[in-house]
């Protein structure tokens, strides 16, 4: 059995990302403001998506959602600002 936060050997980066997404301990919403990286850690992916969507629209920039497993992370998706309805 693997120790916590230890990854098995993978043949491709896609296998590594899939493993991290499946075994994620939490999610991180991340973006850059000037030269500072802002990270918000959330326990559930659905909450991360909701917050990322609202925040992306509020600050009008793309935000990244990552799955986190120990010191490793994998990009899940990018939240983009929603355009106002006319």
Q: Tens place of pLDDT for every residue, the chain, 86 residues?
A: 444 567 888 899 999 999 999 989 999 999 998 889 999 999 999 999 999 999 999 999 999 999 999 889 999 999 999 987 77
DSSP structure string for 19-46: HHHHT-SEEEEEEEETTEEEEEEES-HH
Give the chain's end-to-end CA distance (angstroms, integer).
56
Q: pTM here?
A: 0.83
Q: Would you say 55 and 64 are in contact if contact means Cβ atoms under 8 Å apart?
A: no
What residues does each domain of the chain span? 13-79
How far is residue 46 from each of residues 4, 11, 12, 22, 85, measured CA to CA in Å? 24, 30, 27, 14, 24
Contact 28, 20 (CB under 8 A): no
């Amino acid at each position: 059995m693997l120790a916590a936060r230890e990854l098995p050997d993978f043949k491709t980066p896609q296998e590594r990302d899939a493993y991290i997404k499946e075994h994620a301990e939490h999610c991180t919403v991340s973006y850059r403001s000037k030269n500072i990286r802002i990270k918000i850690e959330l326990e559930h992916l659905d909450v991360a998506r909701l917050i990322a969507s609202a925040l992306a629209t509020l600050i009008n920039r793309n935000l990244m959602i990552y799955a986190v497993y120990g010191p490793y992370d994998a990009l899940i998706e990018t939240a983009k600002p929603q355009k106002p309805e006319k």
